[in-house]
Copies of this chain bind each other. A is one copy, B any other.
Amino acid sequence: MNAEIITIGDEILIGQIVDTNSQFIGQQLNKIGVSVYQITSIQDDKQHILNALKEAQERVDIVIITGGLGPTKDDITKKTIAEFFNDDKLIEYPEVIEHIKGLFQKINHPFKEIQRYQAQLPSKATLLQNDFGTAPGMWFYENNTVFVSLPGVPYEMKGLITSQVLPKIQQQFKLPFIIHKTIMTYGAGESTIAERIEDFENNLPSHIKLAYLPSFGKVRLRLSAKGENKEVLEKALNDKVSEVYELLPEIITGLDDDSSLEKRVGELLKKNSKTICTAESVTGGKIAATLVSVAGSSSYYKGGFVAYSAETKINLLGVCPETIKKHTVVSKEVAIEMAKGAKERLKTNYAIAVTGNAGPTTDDTDKSVGIVYIALVADNEVFVGEFDFGQPREKVINRTVSKALEILQKQIL
């Protein structure tokens, strides 16, 4: 079963926002065995929407459309879909009017007549009630194709997908299983790996696909399998994973299992009943924020410092002014003293500290832009590393965050 996602909105095309809706929908469809064949982002333009619907109908079985369902003039999706289905009869849903009135009452806004249009759907539509906003979703089934139209506001769209769209798709179609396993490797490039697993790759059966996902000194290898029988599929995929493990024993660090590095670090800390704190300069709190993004992180993450100026490093973390004078703020020595200072103050098992230069200028240090020091202090050992993360600023910050989490994971293991 193939699907296409159509996101409507000029704000995506001019780059004012990133289209995160498609990612969410792609993940969710995949989990229930629907392959996303294509994602198409188009303008708020009638003819363009009509063309995209027609093309999608020829390509796939399920078309999911987001955006353009608001009450204003530039929201033309509903009208256009009605035209696409030659359906010029609108039906008003009293339960939707009640729901909208309730939402407006909650924020002390009067109900406007313009909102009534939100409660009117083309006669061929099945209502998908939107618990989180005013624009309902719509479900159409025409010429063996399902069309689903959803609002573009991410949490409204997510609510509708999870509670209504996925169950209805599972009811409508008999779906295969799609399984992915992602193997993480560190320290070898894409081409080196490709040479070492060339025979393996050439002999893969047609229902199993291999993809290379390189980034920042690591390459993830994703194996995907599709089939009718979940157990058979799981077994086949696990066998292939074992083969890759045998071919690349020293560079594989584990399976990704769709869980992020911060989640895995969190699980490791929890399992070992260890706690951690942070002391950040160059990343300005982003390591802390990444750790805290995991639900339940309060059981191992105690807190941290953002010590952005030299002064703050001295006052908050007890870094010795002499150390800064001798080595500058961007140095191994300062990173270690920051970690030790944080660990002492927050009484944790681990403390991770970073100091570096994200640019664009080099300020009060002799180190060039991109140089970062990461220190990890544990109860009885100290690790410190120097890294060159290049440019620009955003990349230096992001690479520092992932490298810090990587070091943490390695050290806990």
Contact = CB atoms under 8 A, between A and B. Distances in A.
A92 interface: no
A174 to B, nearest CB: 21
Interface stretch (A82-90, A232-240, A296-304): A296-304
Interface hub of A13, A224, A297, A393 (most chain B Cβ within 10 A): A13
A194 B10 CA distance: 18
A45 to B, nearest CB: 9
A191 B114 contact: yes
Nearest to A364: B298
A280 B284 contact: no
Contacts of A40: 38-41
23 contacts: A12-B23, A14-B36, A15-B22, A15-B23, A15-B25, A17-B23, A22-B41, A37-B42, A38-B41, A71-B191, A72-B193, A115-B191, A155-B395, A278-B285, A284-B297, A285-B287, A285-B292, A286-B286, A298-B363, A302-B311, A303-B307, A304-B305, A305-B316
A49 to B, nearest CB: 11
Q: How many copies does the complex hold?
A: 2
Interface string A186-225: 0001111111000001000000011111110000001010
A115 to B, nearest CB: 6
Contacts of A75: 212
Interface string A53-73: 001000000000000001111
Interface string A228-262: 00000000000000000000000000000000000
Majority DSSP secondary structure for residues of A touching B: mixed
Interface string A266-292: 000000000000101001111111011
A283 B312 CA distance: 21
Contacts of A41: 22, 38-40
A176 interface: no
A329 B109 CA distance: 32
A74 interface: yes
A210 B345 CA distance: 54
Contact of A291 (B195, B284, B293): B284
